[in-house]
Amino acid sequence: MIHVASRRRSRASLARAFPGARIIDVTSRADEPWVRLSPFYPHGGIPVPRSPGVTAWSVEGIWQALKVFETCDVDPARLGVTAMTGLKRTVRRYGRVLGHRDGLHGERLLGYETARRRIYLPAYRWVLENRTAGLVDRVRRLAEEGDVVLLDYTTNGDVADLATPLSHAALIRGYIEGRWPEEDHGEDAPGPVATDAGAEGATSR
């Protein structure tokens, strides 16, 4: 069985809650090879949703590039960032978030939940299927042998919960268990948008 737990918990706490489980950190601070499951990891060649022919180095780079603020539109430069730092764009610098553009050259702005489903989920799923399939299979095999705990900075696996960043560890679990969230609800009016309050982007690091 696969569990998701906070990386901020102590090892002793994790051992008590999940005795005998294999603990795997999948954040941007993890060791190789598991760090490659972080949405901040620069895999390269990741197709940018709703942007034919455009690719990015990381999923987080896509999310940040398409974010639109009061004083700043999309930032294509984020697509080319090859490190796991220097990706964030914040309200402190650019003002209130208005939404995410529906593609690099899209005319519409998407609400937060729609952006998660239309931009973030397809991009991260592509990474799971095309850049980290071997690691995903390793997690699946380990879970068949016993309990596995994936560590992340947040444990929220509900795409519709806009108050908390998504847990990409929860997305990994959902992918392996055949419970991937629904992508792209179709045409809709702009809805609630991200505030960046305590967020690591659409998901945690």
Residues 14-26 have pLDDT tens digits of 999 999 999 999 9
pLDDT band at 198 (very low <50, low <70, confident <90, very high): very low
> Using the 8-state DSSP alphabet, how is residue 176 labeled?
H
Over the stretch 167-181, which tens digit does the pLDDT of each residue have?
Answer: 999 999 999 999 999
Rounded to 5 degrees, φ, ψ at 67 are -75, 140
Residue 205 pLDDT: 75
pLDDT-derived band at 203, boundaries 50, 70, 90? low
d(CA 49, CA 55): 9
In the 8-state DSSP scheme, what is residue 78?
G
pLDDT of residue 72: 95
Q: What is the mean pLDDT of residues 93-121?
A: 96
- What is the reported pLDDT for 185? 46
| Stronger pLDDT, 90 or 196, i.e. the higher one | 90
**In this predicted structure, what is the pLDDT of residue 184?**
86
Rounded mean pLDDT, 115-125: 97
Q: Does the pLDDT at position 197 exceed 60?
A: no
Asked whether residue 201 carries a pLDDT value surpassing 80, the answer given is no
Predicted confidence at residue 175, as pLDDT, reads 98
Burial of 117 (0-12, 13-18, 19+ CB in 10 A): buried
Which of the residue ranges 44-53, 142-151, 185-194 would you say has the lowest mean pLDDT? 185-194
- Tell me the percentage of the chain whose pLDDT exceeds 90: 87
What is the per-residue DSSP string for 96-141? SEEEEESSTT-SPEEPHHHHIIIIIHHHHHHHHHHTSHHHHHHHHH
Mean pLDDT of 154-176: 97
Residue 11 scores a pLDDT above 50: yes
Mean pLDDT of 33-38: 98
Question: For residue 180, what are the CA distances in angstroms to 30, 33, 121?
Answer: 23, 23, 9
